[in-house]
Homo-oligomer: A and B are copies of this chain.
Amino acid sequence: MKIPKHIGIIPDGNRRWAEGKGLSKDKGYEQGVDPGLEVFKLCEKAGVEEVTYYGFTVDNTKRPMEQRLAFTQACIDAVKTISKENVDLLVVGNTKSPMFPEELLPYTKRQTCNKGGVKVNILVNYNWKWDLYELKGSKSSSNNINNEIQSSEISRMDLIIRWGGRRRLSGFLPVQSVYSDFYVVDELWPDFRSEHFYDALNWYEEQDVTLGG
């Protein structure tokens, strides 16, 4: 089976899930932590080498405070949970803003957790413009743009899986996603099931990979 080396995860639909249960929107985010661990374990088992999660963005922080606090806590919990696994863990985001949670600062340099293993990246207070603007300071004449952006430690993604039915990237790593195959799961992220992941892998296997050629 052709296994993607690097999978991007867009865990969307937490607020719609909460509303569907008659809860306030902020109650959806904590339901996203367990699925994050589950999909990681499936990736590890399948031999995926790198996984990147779209945590929260600078745009998201403009939402009502109770939501902001809830998704920030969910990201902190997700990092703590994943750090108990055998991973090489990195958090990428704008740390120069008060919206970046202090607890995650140690992970802004890649940390080998336990025995190390799959590279796991979690975007926290990420912003695509912040990512690309790093190019403006570049003095390099190289042609490898991936090395000169803020998220330069995150490699090109082969497959992006988005939960929650929306068919768009919403600013998710514009450089690493240029050639990614994009699979959408209609179910909401808190309703994650392992079949979603395997359906995506089976679909990916049928895709040719041309990298624009």
Are A212 and B181 in touch, CB under 8 angstroms?
A: no
A128 interface hit (Cβ, 8 Å)? yes
Are A212 and B178 in touch, CB under 8 angstroms?
A: no
CB-CB under 8 A for A60 and B213, given A132-B145, A145-B129: yes
Determine, out of A41-49, A83-91, A104-112, A163-171, the stretch whose residues face the partner at the interface. A163-171
Interface residues of A in 165-189 (CB under 8 A from B): 166-171, 174-175, 177-183
- With a cutoff of 8 Å between Cβ atoms, the chain B residues found around residue A182 in the complex are 167-169, 182
- With a cutoff of 8 Å between Cβ atoms, the chain B residues found around residue A180 in the complex are 168-169
A62 interface hit (Cβ, 8 Å)? yes
Number of copies of this kind of chain in the complex:
2
Q: Residue of B at shortest CB range from A149?
A: B132
- With a cutoff of 8 Å between Cβ atoms, the chain B residues found around residue A207 in the complex are 166-167
A138 interface hit (Cβ, 8 Å)? yes
- With a cutoff of 8 Å between Cβ atoms, the chain B residues found around residue A138 in the complex are 136
Are B145 and A213 in touch, CB under 8 angstroms?
A: no
Are B169 and A177 in touch, CB under 8 angstroms?
A: yes
Are B183 and A167 in touch, CB under 8 angstroms?
A: yes
- With a cutoff of 8 Å between Cβ atoms, the chain B residues found around residue A174 in the complex are 174-175, 177-178
